[in-house]
Amino acid sequence: MLEIQTTMSIKCIGLLTSGGDSPGMNAAIRAVTRTAIFNKIRVKAIYRGYNGLITGEIKEFQTQDVSNIIQQGGTILKTARSEEFRTIEGMQKAYDNLKKEEIDGLVVIGGDGTFTGARIFAQQFNIPIVGIPGTIDNDLFGTDFTIGYDTALNTIINAVDKIRDTANSHERLFFIEVMGRDAGFLALNGAVASGAESAIIPEMVTNFDQLEKLIANGFRKSKNSSIVLVAEGDTIDGGAVGLANRVNKEYPQYNVRVTILGHIQRGGSPTASDRILASRMGVAAVDALLDGQRNIMIGIVNNEIVYVPFTKAIKDDKPVDKDNSLMSALRILSI
């Protein structure tokens, strides 16, 4: 009985993307829109993240508004990191627009910044909000994968494969810096998947002498190059540039180059995994709102949908390599 009453109370869902874009966000936008319409719920697209909620950049979507977008990278809703939404005045304007547009529940797609804003907004103004994890960083607790991570990983290995050709030809050592903010998921898994000699990640302390041994290995026998993936969050070692400078100074025998992959990792058509993940999460987000859930992120753990409170998703630690097995595999496989 209670469930039916809650279900009836949501008549119009607002949908936005916020923070760094990630491939697969469009697939999630499509899934949320069509699931809402399937359930006879109106859906309103909010442009430019929380900024659009503040300025009222809002448009009602029909199923055809999300046609032909599942394969597109980026987000058709645009995205932003809103400073004004951090203020109570900004949130009040956002709330006024929600009321004006008759939006009674929100689905927000993004990463930890997006959910931090959502959590505070939901608490202050009593709005039901459900989050969908969209970030290439894969750094949210409570879900095995975030939307965009798999595509970014594939972009990384394609780039590393190309760099390997030139590294081999010139017998060089490459430090390749990848994104991930404070997390090493992209660097560690990218290194394993591309056959790199090593990965430097913020979660683990770098032993420089051990690293040199691994690099030396790269030039032994049949191998004549060495590639080290460095997570951008590895600030202790100074990232790829800092490490390259140190190697240049202490081991001048190496011919060192640095590549910073940068925003190429955020673009491109999403992989099948990301499209499926986004589609499942989009459907689950609308179902969750209609079931009366609020202040939760949709996660998928062991292939099952789970609800994770925003506070846990943002604050709890998601281990990059719980038992060190991945790092150990990387070491074994790079001999």
Q: What are the φ/ψ torsions at residue 307 (nearest 5 degrees)?
A: -105, 125
CA distances from 94 to 45, 50, 56, 59, 187 (A): 14, 8, 8, 15, 37
Binding status of residue 318 toward ligand F6P by CB under 6 A: no
The b/e string for 268-282 (b: 16+ C-beta within 10 A; e otherwise) is: bebbebbbebbbbbb
30, 43 in Cβ contact below 8 A?
Answer: no
182 is catalytic: no
Positive or negative, the CA dihedral 34, 40, 41, 47 is positive
Provide, rounded to whole angstroms, the least separation between the CB of residue 17 and ligand F6P: 12
Binding mask 100-119 for ligand F6P (x = CB under 6 A): -----------x--------
Positive/negative CA dihedral, 181, 163, 237, 245? negative
**Taking the complex as a whole, how short is the minimal distance between the CB of residue 293 and ligand F6P, in angstroms?**
25
Q: What string marks each residue from 2 to 41 as x (binds ligand F6P by CB under 6 A) or -?
A: ------------------x---------------------
Task: Enter the DSSP assignment of 147.
Answer: B
- Write down the least CB distance from residue 188 to ligand F6P, Å: 14
Q: Would you count residue 48 as binding ligand F6P (CB under 6 A)? A: no
* Ordered strands of the 226-231 beta sheet: 198-200, 226-231, 173-178, 256-260
Catalytic residue chosen out of the listed positions 137, 237, 274, 321: 137
Task: Figure out which of the listed residues 32, 46, 136, 187 binds ligand F6P, where binding follows CB under 6 A.
Answer: 136
The answer to whether the beta carbons of residues 137 and 185 sit under 8 Å apart is yes
Residue with tokens 């972009």: 155
271 forms part of the interface with ligand F6P (CB under 6 A)? no
Out of 266, 289, 299, 327, the residue judged to bind ligand F6P by CB under 6 A: 266
Q: Binding mask 65-104 vs ligand F6P (x if CB under 6 A, - otherwise)?
A: ----------------------------------------
Among 180, 239, 282, 299, binds ligand F6P (CB under 6 A): 180
Residues marked as catalytic: 137
Which residues of the chain form contacts with ligand F6P (CB under 6 A)? 20, 111, 135-137, 179-181, 232, 266
